[in-house]
Structure formats: structure tokens, C-alpha cells
Structure 1
Amino acid sequence: MKEQKNTRVLVTGANGLLGAHVVRCLLSKGYRVLVLVRKGSNLKALEGLSVDWFEGNVTDKKDVEQAVKQSDFIIHAAARTTQSPSSLEAYREANINSTKYLVEAAEKFGIQRMVYVSTANCFGNGSKEHPGNENTPFIPWLKKSGYAYSKLLAQQLVLESVRQKKVNAVIVNPTFLIGENDVKPSSGEVFLHVINKRLVFYPPGGKNFVDAALAAEGVVAALEKGRSGECYLLTGENLSYPEFFEKVMLVTQQRSVFVPIPSWLLKCAGFAGDLLEKYLKLPVRLTGVNAGMLCLGNYFTSEKAANELGFRELPVQESVEKAILWFQKNNYL
């Protein structure tokens, strides 16, 4: 690897929750950073940072090539993450084609390494006692999730390029991110559904919650130390939804009544959402596949990343405190 001060890293999705933390981590290590952002993007998360700017779109092959040829490394964090609409085609351009263009440009211009930011949902979940890992196969019915399936196809595209010795690339698979600088907000919406609510409705499943700043450290560690062609789950604590909401209550000191949502009710609502989307073409947030995910314990382990990248976890309580304080300071709550 070149001297960091002379090394430029192209970061896509730099104005998102994880991307902005990745940029900060790179700058703290002395890298030069080139961010590829769309015209008119919300750049609040990057305010005050000393970065180079390239205005373009990851779905435009010419823009991608122009940005890549100015760089030594690539961190591809840009993605369409919204859950509506749910069809694969809605995600093909942003999630699959963009990755294809970046892989091709990386080969064309001799990029030293590419890190592709995927998702933990490319692997099967597990229980708290036996959490999912990088060897747990993808859940077949998640093919109905355009987001999850598009990320899996893009991940496979990157891994195939490594197998063909076209690129040097590493995959990172973060779980559910929480943290500061969530300007949209994206995953931070989970707090908005709980804070200042007298009744808190919760589904029967759970998630793995990872601190955004530590996940960013894991991304940069993958750039520096990851093995080409390998995937690394970046995880935090495995918690049921009521366990997570209890931690939010501790920070906000509010007293809410927790109300469980039966799995059958969620699945019925998801079925209705499927019908509305299919026949009335309405944007819905709760589809059958999303309801199914809310009923699962989406639990994972970062043992591999800890052993090979030195990745560390942060107690969710600390991540929640940081995130809520940031939301309060920025008048989201």
C-alpha cells in the first residue's frame, strides 16, 4: 500500500450514515478521500470535512470511470435501501449495475483494492446461542426482497470478479446501523417510532445492532487487512425488539407501555401490503417479506472480522446514547 498521505480512496455513498463515518475514519488515518455524490444531494453529513468532490452518479458508467481513474482504492457504500417498491428491478440500476461499473473500472484502471459494502442479509440468520456467520446460506424467500436479493447478486458479482483475478476485492456485511450523523434519517427512524410514544408496539423478532462509527472502522480495516475474496460480517449486539426499546427508554427516561404485535397479525398486514403493491401499484412499507423478517431473530456474529480485522464491538447502550444525543442536538426529536 502506498503512503497514506499520497493515497486517494474513492468513496461512494459518502453522504449516508455509514459512508460519512467511513470518510471520517479514512481522514483520521491520513488518507485523501474523493467522494462521488449526485447533484443536489444532501451533504450535511460531510460538512467541514476536507475531501475532494466528484459530482456524478454511480449508475452512470462514464461518471464512474472518471472518478475511479483518479483513485487508488474504492469503497463502494452507495445503495438504494428503501423497502418500497419491493421488486428486484427497482434496485437493479442502483445496486447491481453500479457495482458492475465499479468492478469494471477497477480492473481497467488497476485499482489496488475495492471494498464492497454489502449487507448481513446476504447470509442466513441464527439464534442468540448460535448466530449466523459467513458460512450460513442466504434465506431463499428473501429473493422476494428486491433490496436483499440485489445486494446478494452484486456481492456475487464482486466475488466472481475476484475468482477470475480481475480485481482485488473484499466484502463487508454490516447489520442494522445506529449512530450519529444520520441526516436523512435512515436506520435512525427506529428511534422516531419509540421516543415520546405512550404505547410502543413491537414485533416478535429481533436484530443485530451495530455502531455506525465502529462499522466504518471495520470497513477501513477490510481495506487495509482483509483477505481478497472474503466476506466479513460487522456486527454488534443481538437483541429482541423489546430489549432494544428498553435501552432507548433508559436513555430517554420515558415510561412507555410495550405492546406485542402477534406474528399472524404482522403477516396478514404484509399480505395485504403485497396486494396493494401488486394490483394498485401503491408504495407500501410492510410487505409479506418484511413482515417475515420482523418475526425472525436476525442474529449474527462478527467473530471472523474480530479475528482477522481486529474489529471490535460497542455495547448497544452506548450507541443509543450517542445517536439520541445527536438527534436531540439536531432537532429531530
Structure 2
Amino acid sequence: MKVLVSGASGRMGNVLVRELIKSGYGVKALIKPGDAAQAIRGLDIERVEGDVTVYSSVLDGLKGCQAAFHLAGIVSIVPGQEKELYHTNVNGAANMADACLECGVTRLLYTSSIHALSEPPPGAAFTEEQGYHPSHFPPGYNRSMAQGALEVLKRLSDGLSGVIVCPSGVIGPYDYTPSEMGRVLLDYAGGKLKAYVDGGYDFVDVRDVAAGMIAAFEKGQNGQSYILSGQYVSIKGLFEILGRLSGVSPPRFKVPYTLAKLGAYISYPYYRLTRRSPLFTSYSLEVLQSNANISSAKARTVLGFSPRLAEESLADAYLWFKSMGYLGD
């Protein structure tokens, strides 16, 4: 079976492509014009240029494919990108689902995010039952992902076969860009992180997410969502793990949450002016303080999902960065 993968050169996409090849699938990668696609160079796949926000290019990409994995999207923790988020994360998802219907594609796997699901009451765990409610979120990434999921669900009720997966915080190797978590690891190893904040999050290995996507595609029930989460790790615990890996002592100074948020707020104009991406924003700090009791019980039961421990993922990420020259000598 040949499958189209949008976002194939991205953080999760390049690892999914590798896992699909191992599983015997033929892969056609939808690559945005101008993307050098370094992460998938040398892989035995077909490449086609296309943009998920342009319906005709999605149709062209689906030619010769029997199924699709939609991962293309904008992940942003920086305010002020609402239009771009909607255009790609909502319209792009609708375009892919509509094109699958038009082309007679047999199956669609849509990759959403844990942040698309509404937060449960205090003390309760995140489950798929929380559902997608865009009005529960302010304009931004979370809302756009909830809207995108609803667009896909509409098409699934119109005859398209498909499932949705919602990963938590992704870590692990093959982080070419690097991602926000990759930058944390690199900055830590470079001795740039001198303090930490309270809080933590649920982290899952990118390789386990890719395996979970394929399992959901093959075994998931039509119209269902599956959370792909891993293990809660506090920021302090994260730095202790990175300290053991890198030999760099963990920071001892803890920044109070309110002071960290104030610093993120004050520094935002600088990052916007320089067009750089901050390591932490007010939003990301809020996430670290939010409910991270995230259950993957449904995926474990239905899909056989079995994520590895976060320390193994971080060790593999560190070794990968080192082998690729990101850590210098």
C-alpha cells in the first residue's frame, strides 16, 4: 500500500516515514515548496512538492496513494500567529480530508495534539472523552488544533474512514530542526540554563508516537481518537537526567513562577522584533503548571501502545545530537 505523508520532513513526520518503510509501506512525501527536507534525505520514498493549504496540490499529492497520514501543521507557542495557525492547522486539515474523499482514499490518519482536547476538571485525567471544543481556548495553537480535529471528524461522518491521534510532549532522536525540547537539551548541554522553574509535563518518545500512529491506522476504530502519551517528568527531574547524560551540573536556582511569567512577557517584544523563537513563553510556562495527568489507557488497550521511559528517550536524543555534531566536540 502506498500512503501520502504530509509534514513528512517534520519533527514527527520524518520518524513516521522511517517506521512506515520498516513496516513495508510505500511512502509518498508531500514536501512544502522550498523545504530542503534534510530529515528524509536518502530514504527510499517518492517526493512531491505541495502545500496542504492549496487544495489542488493535495489532490495531486494523493494520486497513486491508497491512504494518507496528515501531520502537516504549525506548532507555535508564540502569540500573534493566529491567522497562520488557522490557515494551516484548520484549512489544511479540511483540505486533506476533502481531497481524501474526492480521491476515494481508503483511510486517513490525522495527527492532532493533546492540547486540542479540552482540559478535564481539577484532579481528573486527560482522556479522549474530553473532546474537541474550540470555544474553550483563546485564539492560538490549541484552538486551531481543536478546530482542525472537528473538520476531520465532519468528513469521517460523511463517509471517510479514519482516526485521530493526540500525542503529548514529543522527545527523542531525529530532531533535525531542533524542536523546543531539543533546544532545551542543547542549551542545557551547552551550560546555558542557569535556573529552573517548578512544574513538568508528560513526555513521549517520537518513535513510540510513530509506532502508535501506524497501529491506530491499522487497528483504530473509525472516528475514534487515541491519546499517545508517555511519562510525567518534572523540570527539575528533566535537568537531573540531562545532567547525568552531559556531565553538566543541574541548576540550583529556582525561578518563582510569577517572576518567570513576567520575564517571558517583558522579553516578548524583543523576540518578535528579532524574529527569534523564545525558549519559554507565557503559554509554555502555563503548560508546565497545567494538568499533566494524561492517560494513554485507550491506546494501550486497543492499539497495544507501549511507550518507553523518558530517560531512555532523552539518552537517545542526547546521543543522536552528539553523533550529528550538534554538541560540538
Question: TM-score, length-normalised on structure 2?
Answer: 0.90
Distance 1:267 1:255 in 2: 25
1:174 to 147, 167, 171: 167
CA distance in 2 between counterparts of 1:298 and 1:38 reads 33
Map residues 129-144 of structure 1 onto 2, 5 A cutoff: 131-136=125-130, 143-144=137-138
Secondary structure of 1:67's aligned partner: helix
Task: Please point out which of 76, 83, 90 is paired with 1:82.
Answer: 76
Kept in 2, the 8 Å contact 1:71–1:111? The answer is yes
- Judge conservation of contact 1:125–1:299 (CA < 8 Å) in 2: no
Unaligned runs of 5+ in 2: none
Structure 1, unmatched stretches of 5+, are: 1-6
Partners in 1 of 2:120 and 2:107 — Cα distance? 31
Residue 176 of structure 2 is matched in structure 1 by 183
**Other-structure match for 2:320:** 326
Q: Determine what percentage of the aligned residue pairs are the same residue.
A: 29
Partner of 1:259: 253
Aligned to 1:292: 286
**1:156-180 deviation line (CA, Å, top 9, x unaligned):** 11112222x2311200001111111
Q: Post-superposition shift, 1:39? A: 2.5
> Does residue 1:122 correspond to 2:116, yes or no?
yes
Give the aligned residue type for 1:210. V
Change (3 A) 1:245 1:140: farther
Give me the TM-score of the superposition, normalised by structure 1: 0.89
Determine helix, strand or coil for the equivalent of 2:262. helix
Mean alpha-carbon deviation: is it higher for 276-285 or for 264-273? 276-285
Question: What is the deviation of 1:291?
Answer: 3.3
Distance 1:97 1:288 in 2: 27
Letter in 1 for 2:202: N
Equivalent of 1:66 in 50, 54, 60? 60
Are positions 1:12 and 2:6 aligned together? yes
After TM superposition, list the pairs within 5 Å mapping 1:218-297 onto structure 2. 218-272=212-266, 287-297=281-291
SS of alignment partner, residue 3 of structure 2: strand
Letter of the structure 1 residue corresponding to residue 304 of structure 2: G
Aligned-partner SS, 1:157: helix
In structure 2, C-alpha distance between the alignment counterparts of 1:51 and 1:294, rounded to whole Å? 38
Shift of 1:299: 3.3
* Per-residue CA distance 1:217-256 (angstroms, 9 max, x = gap): 0001111011111111111111111112211112223223
Asked if 1:317 corresponds to 2:311, the answer is yes
Q: Distance in 2 between matches of 1:243 and 1:172?
A: 27
Letter in 2 for 1:172: V
Per-residue CA deviations over 1:22-75 (Å, capped at 9, x if unaligned) read 111111111100000022213221122100111121111110011123211110
RMSD (Å), alpha carbons: 2.8
Per the alignment, residue 32 of structure 2 pairs with: 38
SS in 2 for 1:42: coil
Equivalent position of 1:3 in the other structure = none
- Corresponding letter in the other structure for 2:286: G
Q: Which of the numbers 200, 205, 213 marks the counterpart of 1:206?
A: 200
Q: Aligned partners of 2:217, 2:226: CA distance in 1, in Å?
A: 11
Deviation at 1:127, TM superposition (A): 10
| Secondary structure, aligned partner of 1:194 | helix
